[in-house]
C-alpha cells in the first residue's frame, strides 16, 4: 500500500497517478479502435471527452452517496471536491457515462453499437489497471483472513478504521489485521476480461454490440461475486444481503443479455427500409 508517491520534496496521490494513466491510455485505445473501424474520429473523441467527464462525476457521486461517508460529506461539503484524496466508485462511471455515450451518438445519428464496442475496450483496460489505484490507496479491501495471500495495510488506513469501528481494533495506532487483497483479484480478473475482448473478440465479432455485451455480462458476473468477499463500506440493502454494486451488476448483466438477444442495428435498419 503506497497512498502517495514522493519524488524529492514533491509528493502526489498514487491513486490519481494510476487513474490519470488509465484515462490517457484508455482514450488512446478508443482512438485506435475508432480509426481501425474507419469511424468518425473527431466525433468519437468529442464524445469520449464528454463521456469521461460524466463518468468521473458519476464515480464521485456514487462514492459520496453509497460508500459510507455521506455523514462526513454532509458535515464537510467542501470535502466532496477534495478529489486528490481518492474516492471513486466505478459503477458510477457506467451509470453516468453509458447514457451520456448513448445520448451523444444518438444525437449525431451514428451507429451506436459500433462506437460503444470501441469505447468499451478503453474502459475495460482502465478498470483493470485502475484497480491497482485501489490497492495503493488501501480501499476496496476484503474480509479479515488468515490466508497466506492476505495483506496488512497501514495504520490509520481505511481497513484499520473499519476494524476500529467494528471494535476489532482497540486503537488506531495498532496495525490492522490482515485482509484479503480483493483489489488485486479484481485487477487480475478485469484485466483478463480486457485481454479476452482485445485478443479474441474485437476482430472476430459477427455483430456490432458484441464487445460491450460481453463486457457487461462478464464484469457484472465477477463484480456480483467479488462483493461477497469485500469488507469496505459501499452501501448494503435487503438486510445487508446485497451491496449497491451487486444491484447495479444485476441491471448491467440484463442490459448485456438484451444486447446479445436484440437484432443488430444493421438488421433493424434493413427491416425499416423494406
8 A C-beta contact, residue 73 and residue 64: yes
Instruction: Locate the DSSP E strands across 177-241.
Output: 236-237
Measured CA distances, 247 to 80, 241, 253 (Å): 24, 11, 10
Measured CA distances, 107 to 23, 103, 111, 213, 241 (Å): 24, 6, 11, 22, 40
Residue 67 has pLDDT above 90, yes or no: no
Q: How far apart are CA 34 and CA 40, in angstroms?
A: 7
Q: Which of 43-47, 65-69, 179-183 is least confident?
A: 65-69
Query: Which has more pLDDT, 213 or 266?
Result: 213
What's the pLDDT score for residue 270? 44
Which of the four pLDDT bands, split at 50, 70 and 90, describes residue 180?
A: very high
| Arithmetic mean of pLDDT, 61-71 | 82
8 A C-beta contact, residue 224 and residue 250: yes
Q: Strand, coil or helix: what is 23?
A: helix
83-98 pLDDT per residue, tens: 766 678 888 999 999 9
Question: The cell 481497513 sits on which residue?
Answer: 159
Burial class for 107, CB neighbours closer than 10 Å (0-12, 13-18, 19+) = exposed
The ranges assigned to domains in the chain are 4-143+180-204, 145-179
Q: How far apart are CA 103 and CA 192, in angstroms?
A: 29
Query: Looking at the chain, how many residues does it have?
Result: 274
Q: Which of 158-162, 183-187, 246-250 is least confident?
A: 158-162
Which of the four pLDDT bands, split at 50, 70 and 90, describes residue 69?
A: confident
Q: How far apart are CA 48 and CA 174, in angstroms?
A: 45
Which of the four pLDDT bands, split at 50, 70 and 90, describes residue 218?
A: very high
What's the pLDDT score for residue 271? 47
Kind and range of the H or E run holding 243 = strand 242-243
253-262 pLDDT per residue, tens: 999 999 999 8
Measured CA distances, 167 to 9, 172, 231, 240, 252 (Å): 37, 11, 14, 19, 36
Amino acid at each position: 500500500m503506497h497512498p502517495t508517491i514522493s519524488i524529492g520534496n514533491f509528493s502526489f496521490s498514487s491513486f490519481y497517478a494510476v487513474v490519470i494513466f488509465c484515462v490517457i491510455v484508455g482514450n488512446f485505445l478508443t482512438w485506435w479502435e475508432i480509426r481501425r473501424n474507419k469511424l468518425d474520429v473527431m466525433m468519437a473523441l468529442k464524445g469520449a471527452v464528454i463521456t469521461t467527464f460524466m463518468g468521473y462525476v458519476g464515480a464521485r457521486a456514487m462514492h459520496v452517496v453509497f460508500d459510507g461517508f455521506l455523514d462526513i460529506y454532509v458535515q464537510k461539503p467542501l470535502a466532496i471536491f477534495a478529489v486528490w484524496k481518492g474516492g471513486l466508485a466505478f459503477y458510477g462511471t457506467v451509470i453516468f457515462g453509458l447514457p451520456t455515450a448513448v445520448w451523444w451518438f444518438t444525437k449525431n445519428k451514428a451507429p451506436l453499437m459500433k462506437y460503444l464496442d470501441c469505447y468499451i475496450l478503453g474502459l475495460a483496460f482502465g478498470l483493470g489497471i485502475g484497480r491497482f489505484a485501489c490497492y495503493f490507496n488501501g480501499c476496496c479491501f476484503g474480509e479479515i483472513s488468515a490466508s497466506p495471500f492476505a495483506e496488512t495495510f497501514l495504520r490509520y488506513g481505511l481497513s484499520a478504521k473499519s476494524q476500529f469501528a467494528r471494535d476489532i481494533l482497540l486503537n488506531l495506532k495498532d496495525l490492522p489485521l490482515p485482509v484479503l487483497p480483493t483489489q488485486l483479484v479484481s485487477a487480475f480478473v478485469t484485466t483478463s476480461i480486457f485481454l479476452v475482448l482485445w485478443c479474441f473478440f474485437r476482430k472476430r465479432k459477427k455483430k456490432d454490440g458484441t464487445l460491450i455485451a460481453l463486457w457487461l455480462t462478464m464484469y457484472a458476473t465477477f463484480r456480483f461475486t467479488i462483493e461477497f468477499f469485500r469488507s469496505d463500506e459501499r452501501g448494503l440493502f435487503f438486510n445487508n444481503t446485497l451491496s449497491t454494486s451487486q444491484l447495479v451488476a444485476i441491471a448491467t448483466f440484463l442490459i448485456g443479455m438484451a444486447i446479445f438477444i436484440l437484432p443488430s442495428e444493421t438488421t433493424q435498419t434493413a427491416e425499416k427500409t423494406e
